[in-house]
A and B are shown apart, each in its own frame.
Chain A
Amino acid sequence: RKEVEQDPGPFNVPEGATVAFNCTYSNSASQSFFWYRQDCRKEPKLLMSVYSSGNEDGRFTAQLNRASQYISLLIRDSKLSDSATYLCVVITKAAGNKLTFGGGTRVLVKP
């Protein structure tokens, strides 16, 4: 089993709709979680951290479910510019602060 897994998609989303997807992690000792965005043929960039209580940043909502060992990202009112690959990142302090990337979920927002 991979340490961090994501549904590769693509998730085809009508403009203005809501889309949500998850990222599961296998190490229960993992303690920090993040979402990155990667545009086609570009470098990844940090989108947002994921806090235990859940957090929002504009149209984006991130949540953490420690019991089931997954994080989620929800995008409301999708824009064409939201089309990208979303990568989750998990940091495990017990493994020397190892950062592990998921394989990414591709989102395509269509008019």
Chain B
Amino acid sequence: DGGITQSPKYLFRKEGQNVTLSCEQNLNHDAMYWYRQDPGQGLRLIYYSQIVNDFQKGDIAEGYSVSREKKESFPLTVTSAQKNPTAFYLCASSILPPNTGELFFGEGSRLTVL
């Protein structure tokens, strides 16, 4: 089945630790995205990538880093510089351009900082 797989689903981190969230897609989509969602809030764009080895900052990139070494993979690292990392993180992919408006989302990764 085609889709997006995020892991882990739940993650606990101590303050000062970096953590990497995995996102893999087998939809052959060119574009991939990382969003953050806080309780009762909408989605805010962290980073996006339209091609391998290239990515752009979104609205809230500070404290995060990404890589796009393969078309299928777009991992997100939440660094210790991110002041409030506890959130629900969603990875998505789409065709380019995204005129159909359809983003395919993974099931999300829920990060809690202890």
The interface of chain A, by Cβ under 8 A from chain B, is: 6, 8, 32-34, 41-46, 49, 87, 89, 91, 93, 97, 99, 101-104
Contact = CB atoms under 8 A, between A and B. Distances in A.
B100 to A, nearest CB: 8
B2 interface: no
B99 A91 contact: yes
Interface of A is mostly: strand
Contacts of A6: 42
Interface of B: 33, 35, 40-45, 88, 90, 96-103, 105-108
Contacts of B43: 44, 87, 101
Contact of B101 (A41, A43, A49): A49
A32 B99 CA distance: 7
A91 B98 contact: yes
Nearest to B91: A43
Contacts of A44: 43, 90, 103, 105
A18 to B, nearest CB: 24
Contacts of B107: 42-43
B21 to A, nearest CB: 14
